[in-house]
Chains A and B, each alone.
Chain A
Amino acid sequence: MNTFEATRLVAAREIRVKLRDRTFLISTLFFLLIAAAATILPPMLSGGPSTVAVTEAAAGPLRQAGLEVRVVADDAAAEQAVRDGDADAAVVAGPVVLAMNDAPNDVVSALSSAPPVRLLNPDAVEPVVAFLVPFAFAFIFFITSQTFGVQIAQSIIEEKQTRIVEILVAAVPVRALLAGKMLAGTLLALGQIGLVALVAVAGMAFGDSNQLLSLLGPAIGWFVPFFLLGFVLIASMWAAAGALVNRLEDIGGVSMPVQLAVMLPFFAVIFLNDNAGAMRVLSYLPFSSPTAMPLRLFNGDAAVWELFASLALLLVAAVGFLLAGSRVYEGSLLRTNGRTSIRTAWRERETLS
């Protein structure tokens, strides 16, 4: 059994077990619903053109402006239609625009001549979107790396706790075990955010947010490699943490540093996302770059070489953590008495032949 083949088998088992896990399926469904709701609902709620109650004589310019015209007998009937809620607005003699409590801009502009407008930065991001997008990126990375990282740790502990690890280690190389788990976690995480992204893109297309889509496209595209490497970084820490304990109940004690390594960058990106200097720093730090760098790209602050530089830094960090994580994993996997210290695991690695 070579390492590659063993890795594949281990990963296949992990994925199979996860795909039968009801909690996992429900949480995936939940994310998909959120993604669909967030992209489809806002355009729908902002509503279509206003309905205008008007006499036939005055209906012409309103029809031309694409408003929904409701022809009434006279001005009194028009006013009544607005009061009854049958129309959003009415146009009566004057002309005067009637509405309940909110001036209907589309009706007003249909009746007036506006000066020509030239937008200097037509691609600029709306403030609401500019706030929501960083939050979404950071949130996806935070939730996914947390969920699947914990899952890797749990799967490692399960094998230690049930002692099946001894049979496994006798059959396949230890690094194949770890590699299989990391591979499965990464594929599942990517699969889940891939699905979410697909639903979000479809939702934006459906909700006529194509302009936002073209803005988000490159950021999403860059988010994928950053996410991948960032995930390996976090998952390596979870793997090491899982290997240090023997019972699921004990994971709390070793997971604190890992939690912090995920949480601090998350909040930093959320709170500092309008501070250019801070974001520049965050976009190079391996733990925050997976969210901070695609964001700077989205906001138009990052040059292409910066993306590659940050990605390279992240790659080095991810490989380093992966090697360190697997050393701790190998060093503590067969220590089934109580908690192993990182120092012991690091130094007294069993030389498995």
Chain B
Amino acid sequence: MTTVLRLDGIDRSFGDRQVLKNVSFDVVAGRMTGFVGGNGAGKTTTMRIILGVLAADAGRVTWGAQPLNRSIRGRFGYMPEERGLYPKMSVREQVVYLGRLHGMSAEGARRATDTLLERIGLGERGDDLLETLSLGNQQRAQIAAALVHDPEVLVLDEPFSGLDPLAVDTILAVLRERAAAGAPVLFSSHQLDVVERLCDDLVIIADGAIRAAGSREQLRASSATRRFELVVDTDAGWLRDHPGVSLVDLDGARAVFDLAADTDEQPVLHAALARGPVRAFRPVTPSLAEIFREVTQ
């Protein structure tokens, strides 16, 4: 059985404003889970609760069926949304320090830091003060700070914001490695195209409530509105009168249409072939952006 980081019925209010309403979802070991939502939807609050930085009003978080406590959370890696390390300490020194705060030995922390900095392309800059690094390199240092103690679970709040494409690839490779090694990786983002490219599973939150959760394929399948694209040689306007078809877009020989639930797509294809050659006939899978728009509306 795979180990799961499970959120179960989390509520949280600030004053009389409820920001999380019965939030429940799983982050499965070995998979990258994208956590998507608009600004103020509750992503950061949820992550802070997972890390114990904030307390939940109700509900619980478990890792492998055990409720979280400080010693379990000590084996988590966390990258908060608001970035910051000590500006006047060298990168190496503070990454070692954070490793030690997570219970590593001095020697172990030093070794892990050297390897990690090398891996993410900061080996040369390790002894520079953080404040002298470029913004992108500070971001890399931040990732190093979250990974130094080889965490069992990774929770990253907007890990890719502010990174150049090269850095995104480096960081992504490191995260994939961790996931492949069996760690659940939960990361939030509002860049849907990035999430679409990276994640295995997806959790969508809006107004403090989970709107959809599951694997990317599942979500696509379940939210697919049975939409098809047809390309023929002549005008495809006849589709308008075909039973069960509602046209979404018609551009001469190319048409996009939705099928009613009780209508099969094969008769439509036959009808098209009867009128001439068919150049393309395929189901249209919704993009993440479309799914997101759909479930959050």
Contacts and interface: CB of A to CB of B under 8 A. Distances in A.
A266 B48 CA distance: 44
A256 B51 CA distance: 36
Given A334-B54, A353-B69, A9 B82 contact: no
A162 B84 contact: yes
A13 B97 contact: yes
B214 to A, nearest CB: 28
B101 A1 contact: yes
Interface stretch (A100-108, A166-174, A213-221): A166-174
A76 interface: no
Nearest to B82: A163
Contact of A9 (B69, B78, B101): B101
Contact of A170 (B73, B83, B89, B100): B73
B279 interface: no
A164 B86 contact: yes
Given A1-B103, A166-B80, A352 B97 contact: no
Interface residues of B, number: 32
Contact of B101 (A158, A166, A168, A352): A168
Contacts of A6: 101
B87 interface: yes
B54 A17 contact: no
A261 B79 CA distance: 40
A9 to B, nearest CB: 5
Contact of A352 (B55, B74, B86, B87): B55
Contacts of A334: 53-54
B84 A170 contact: no
B27 interface: no
A158 B102 CA distance: 21
28 contacts: A1-B101, A1-B102, A5-B103, A6-B101, A9-B97, A9-B100, A9-B101, A17-B88, A162-B85, A162-B87, A163-B80, A163-B83, A163-B84, A166-B48, A166-B51, A166-B53, A167-B78, A167-B79, A167-B145, A169-B52, A170-B51, A170-B76, A171-B74, A172-B101, A350-B55, A352-B52, A353-B52, A353-B55
Contacts of A17: 86, 88-89
Nearest to A6: B101
B70 interface: yes
B53 A171 contact: no
B69 to A, nearest CB: 7
Interface residues of A, number: 26
A164 B83 CA distance: 7
Nearest to B146: A167
B19 to A, nearest CB: 14
Interface of A: 1, 5-6, 9-10, 13, 17, 158, 161-164, 166-173, 334, 336, 350-353
B70 A353 contact: yes
Q: Which of B54, B71, B79 has the most CB of A within 10 A?
A: B54
Q: Which of B53, B68, B80, B145 has the most CB of A within 10 A?
A: B53
Contacts of A164: 84-86
Contacts of A167: 78-80, 98, 145-146
Contacts of B78: 166-167, 170
Nearest to B87: A162
B17 to A, nearest CB: 14
A13 B99 CA distance: 13
A159 to B, nearest CB: 8
B82 A171 contact: no
Interface string B91-127: 0000001101111000000000000000000000000
